[in-house]
Amino acid sequence: MALDKEETGERVLAIAEVLLNEGGMDNLKARTIAEQAGISVGSVYNLFSDLDGVHRAVNMRLLDRLGVAGAAAMADLGRRGITDVRQRLMALAGAYVRFVEAHPGSWPALLAFNRRRPVLTEPDVYEARLDQLFEIIASVLADGGFDLDEDTRRIAARTLWSSVHGIVTSGYAARSVRRQADEIDRQIAFLVGVFIRGLERGGTFAHAGKTAS
């Protein structure tokens, strides 16, 4: 008819993302996509192998957008001449919080998706996009004058990311909706504060992970 294959694919992805965002994973239905895109069910399976394929593609877009958000937050601070480590880390965390808030259904769906398909979905692509974020965090830490070797910086960056991620996801699974934002902000501020203080003290962090048997 009018649109070529790629264009229709983009439209399907846009529709799929809205569906995911509004109703979570359960809301991503082949028939709904087809109807809203003005194509038949079969055509959806012509463009993508699976509904999982559609979901994967949406997830890629989300990860890209998250990377852009993080880089933009850093660029913004750079433009304003802010180099304070705390402010930069808080800005990154804030960018993540805003990103999650802007994607209330599709981001949880991404997390649930990864949980459902353990390692079957080549994680290379996923991890590559996440590495971009780790790089940003690591570079902030590198500029903080903490005297960390590269390996420690790598662990520190990933630990920070995982922690913020945990705070946000635990926070949104918590009780009242009103207190969520407050609780998340406080925990993030606390985490960043403690983290910076801890790093400033220097010393080695290489302790074996083994715990009581």
Partner DNA sequence: CGCACATCGTGAACAGCGTTCAAAAACCTC
Partner DNA sequence: GAGGTTTTTGAACGCTGTTCACGATGTGCG
Minimum distance from residue 22 beta carbon to DNA (Å):
14
Rounded to a whole number of angstroms, the minimum distance from the CB of residue 32 to DNA is 7
Q: Rule CB under 7 A: which residues touch DNA?
A: 1, 5, 8, 28-32, 39-43, 45-46, 50-52
Query: How far from the centroid of its chain's Cα atoms is residue 197's Cα?
Result: 26
What is the longest distance spanned by two Cα atoms in the chain? 67
For residues 131 and 137, what is the distance between their CA atoms, to the nearest angstrom?
10
Interactions with a second copy, residue window 149-188 (CB under 8 A)? 152, 155-156, 158-159, 161-167, 169-171, 173-175, 177, 182-188
CA distance 183 to 26: 28
Specify the stretch interacting with a second copy by CB under 8 A; choose among 13-21, 28-36, 59-67, 86-94.
86-94
As given in the structure block, the two tokens for residue 140 are 């902030």
Which of the listed partners (a second copy, DNA, none) does 179 bind, with a CB threshold of 5 to 8 Å by partner kind?
Answer: none
Q: Which does 51 bind (CB under 5 to 8 A by kind): a second copy, DNA, none?
A: DNA
Q: Which stretch binds a second copy (CB under 8 A): 30-38, 44-52, 136-144, 201-209?
A: 201-209
Query: Is 96 within 8 Å of 66 (Cβ atoms)?
Result: yes
Classified as helix, coil or strand, 91 is helix
Tokens of 74: 């850093």
> How many residues sit in the footprint of a second copy (CB under 8 A)?
72
Q: Are 83 and 143 in contact (CB under 8 A)?
A: yes
Q: Does 191 bind a second copy (CB under 8 A)?
A: yes
Verify binding: residue 142, a second copy, rule CB under 8 A.
no
Find out whether 148 and 199 touch, Cβ atoms under 8 Å.
Answer: yes
In the complex, the smallest distance separating the C-beta of residue 72 from a second copy, rounded to whole angstroms, is 10
